[in-house]
Amino acid sequence: MAKRPSWVCTLITQLSLCLALYVALNLGQPQKSIYQRTNGISSNRKGLDFYFISVTGGFRPLEQQTLLLKQMEDVAKAYDARFVINSSELGEDDPLKQNATWLFPSLKVPWYTTKASKEKEVGCFQEQIRLPHGEALDIIGVNTGSLQGKIPTALPSASGDLLLNWLKSALEATNGHWCIVVGFHPLVICEEHEEQLEAKKIYEPLHHIFMKFGVNTYLSKHGCIKYSRQDSITYMENPGLIESGNGRSVFRI
């Protein structure tokens, strides 16, 4: 059997992720939390023509980085992407972001970039994006560096508690129709089952907060899955460099 060209695998991967996020946001319906949002927002719309790009940042060889940025520019033009979500451990110093906004005019859209360090600053960004028809999307970026090494065990720590408390406060302040939380580290732990990796465990402290405050999706770098639906939350991981052709996804709301 002939081997599929790499761009075909890339396209299939991106389309599957687009479909997954579309389903995660309930075909345009806002996600209700366990505890009803205080503003009582609801919507009956069946989708919005609104696009953004999600990418895993970091260092890449120059040729590979340039190719990725060119692909992102083409996508941004074709879909009129409004912003970029960058799952990175480097924050504002991420080279992909710096070179994108310097070399490619079409990528001079807002970039929302995470970081992963042991610093006390646990919040990366908190934005509300206005959507058509008066609706809104809340995006919250967290510094998951304090969770490194603790995700499989869910062991408590002072820095981890600081992150959880900050996130609770940030989510309490949201009033949009949808909510996406973004971090660098994936929260899903997998185990091998019949030669396949299957989602086995979720980092429960954060999952409980996501459930309580009606978070729709958690985005991160690639771990062991592409996406996993747990309760009402969808965990999505940007594809790795090999399987995705540089780790870029295009999402529609």
Report pLDDT digits (tens) over 188-211. 877 665 555 555 677 888 999 999
Express as a percent the part of the chain with pLDDT over 90: 17
Structure-token pair, residue 11: 């396209």
Q: What would the pLDDT profile of 111-131 be if each residue is shown by its tens digit? A: 999 988 776 778 889 999 988
Task: Tell me the residue length of the chain.
Answer: 253
> By the 8 A CB rule, do 114 and 67 touch?
no
> By the 8 A CB rule, do 145 and 116 touch?
yes
| DSSP conformation letters of 66-110 | HHHHHHHHHHHHHHT---EEEE-SBGGG-HHHHHHHHH-GGG-S-
Q: Which of 219, 149, 154, 210 is nearest to 186 (CA)?
A: 219
Specify the pLDDT at position 171: 96
Neighbours of 176 (CB within 10 A): 21
Specify the pLDDT at position 22: 46
Provide the whole-model pTM. 0.76
DSSP state of 115: B
User: What fold does the segment set 46-252 form as a domain?
Assistant: Purple Acid Phosphatase; chain A, domain 2 (3.60.21)
How far is CA 91 from its chain centroid?
15
Q: Decide which of 148 and 127 is more confident.
A: 127
What does the buried/exposed string (b/e) look like for 141-172 if buried means 16 or more CB atoms within 10 Å of the residue's CB? bbbbbbbeebbeeeeeeebbebbbebbeebbe
Q: Where are the domains of the chain?
A: 46-252
Q: Which of 176, 220, 177 is nearest to 202 (CA)?
A: 220
> By the 8 A CB rule, do 227 and 189 touch?
no
Neighbours of 177 (CB within 10 A): 27
> By the 8 A CB rule, do 222 and 238 touch?
yes
